[in-house]
């Protein structure tokens, strides 16, 4: 009997983390990076334990999720997994301008982003 294939899980290299990208942790939590400056970033976290997004999902899963600020190195250490988004399977996916604006509004991060970028 064949063993079931496991998803490859991986922490990220700090250079792989980019603003405007969506990531999916092994705890099934989506994370959208909204801003980066120096050693810190601001991201929108979803709840953990989510099912993968449906191809026709109209909204990203960040409604009422408070934004978080952390060191880039800390964000990178989390275990991430590849996931399918917009028909493509990868470890990270670029969000369009409307999705970034929606996510920023959903987690009320506009002033936090401005403060980080002004530091």
Beta strands of 5-57 (E only): which ranges?
Answer: 9-10, 21-24, 30-37, 40-45
What is the number of other CB atoms lying within 10 angstroms of the CB of residue 117? 11
Q: What are the pLDDT digits (tens) for 16-70?
A: 999 999 999 999 999 999 999 999 999 999 999 998 888 777 789 999 899 999 9
Domain ranges for the chain, please list them. Answer: 9-118
- What's the pTM? 0.89
SS3 (DSSP) at 3: coil
């Amino acid at each position: 009997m064949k063993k079931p294939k496991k998803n490859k899980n991986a922490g990220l290299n700090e250079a792989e983390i980019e603003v405007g990208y969506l990531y999916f942790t092994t705890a099934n939590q989506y994370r959208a990076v909204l801003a980066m400056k120096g050693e810190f970033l601001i991201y929108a976290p979803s709840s953990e334990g989510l099912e993968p997004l449906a191809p026709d999902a109209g909204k990203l899963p960040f409604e009422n999720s408070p934004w978080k600020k952390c060191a880039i190195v800390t964000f990178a250490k989390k275990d991430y997994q590849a996931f399918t988004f917009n028909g493509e399977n990868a470890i990270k996916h670029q969000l369009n301008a409307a999705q970034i604006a929606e996510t920023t509004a959903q987690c009320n991060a506009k002033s936090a982003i401005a403060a980080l970028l002004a530091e």
